[in-house]
Structure 1
Amino acid sequence: MDSTTRVDRWLWAVRLSKTRADAATACRGGHVRVNDKPAKPSTPVRAGDTVRTRLYDIPRVVEVGTVIEKRVGAPVAVTCYVDHTPPPPPKESTPAPPQRERGTGRPTKRDRRRMEAFERASLLHGVEHELTDQD
């Protein structure tokens, strides 16, 4: 007998979503696909199906290993699917923002404007600029 269950229930049971309501909302919002087809909360899943989700801004690609309907502990839940999620791209190292010397007090209005102009120029051009006195 081929066992199936609802995709929202399965996502909740294997702990990919915190609540079943979150899983159902993600399905209705188009963030869940079963075998590369958009899934409603009631879409059945079977062992061997591929489920692509984007829950809590985390994209996941999993293959259904075991169909379960009841929520189980985390160590058991991990055995119910095979994770095919590609590793996240490495984060680009960004230099630390310039720090003011300790004890110099609050920046003046002029200092603040110069710092904001520097940040804007760095973000727009990706180039470091020297601060010049523009009186």
Structure 2
Amino acid sequence: MSKSNDGQHDGKVRIDKWLWAARFYKTRSLATEAVDLGRVLINDDRIKPARIIKLGDTVQLRRGDDTATVMVKGVSESRGPAPMAQLLYEETAESLAARVERKEQAKLLTSDGFQGKGRPTKRDRRQLMRFEGN
């Protein structure tokens, strides 16, 4: 495995290292765990953490409710700054559109008032009393 000066490799990098280097996961162990749990697919196939990733592979990631599909544009074993990490992949147009749609739907579902967390403020309590007709 020959390494160039900028930390880029000749195309032979484990998926768990690549996910960590591309800043999808904070630690390599979290990336390994996600792969083991089937939350990461390469070309629609379930994989193991030692799977070698190649340029042009399609990677599907699930993190919580968020799903992303990215194309591999570069490989690196070392974690660098975020702008460099973003050069390692490109999100597909369908994935980007679906993520924007989910964000818009989430905004519509949330209300601006009391959300049931903690004690309501005086204003929340007055609005609730007005709504209940008391």
TM-score interval for Structure 1 and Structure 2 normalised by the shorter chain: 0.5 to 0.7
| Alpha-carbon offset, residue 60 of structure 1 | 1.5
- Superposed CA RMSD in Å reads 2.9
Specify the SS of the correspondent of 1:100. Answer: helix
Residue 35 (1) aligns with residue 43 (2): yes
Partner of 2:72: 64
Specify the SS of the correspondent of 1:21. Answer: helix
Cα distance in 2 for partners of 1:40, 1:132 equals 59
Cα distance in 2 for partners of 1:30, 1:53 equals 9
Residue 3 (1) aligns with residue 11 (2): yes
Partner of 2:125: 100
Cα distance in 2 for partners of 1:62, 1:11 equals 11
Residue 78 (1) aligns with residue 103 (2): no
Change (3 A) 1:95 1:18: closer
Paired AA for residue 81 in structure 1: Y
Cα distance in 2 for partners of 1:11, 1:40 equals 13
Larger Rg: 1
TM-score by length of 1: 0.68
Cα distance in 1 for partners of 2:62, 2:96 equals 13
Runs of 4+ in 1 over 6 A off after TM superposition: none
TM-score by length of 2: 0.68
Specify the SS of the correspondent of 1:101. Answer: helix
- Larger helix proportion of the pair: 2
Aligned residues: 109
Cα distance in 1 for partners of 2:91, 2:133 equals 53
Unaligned residue ranges in structure 2 (runs of 5+): 2-9, 115-123
Unaligned residue ranges in structure 1 (runs of 5+): 112-129
Residue 22 (1) aligns with residue 30 (2): yes
Answer whether contact 1:8 1:24 (CA < 8 A) is retained: yes
My pick for the range that moved more, 56-65 or 5-14, is: 56-65
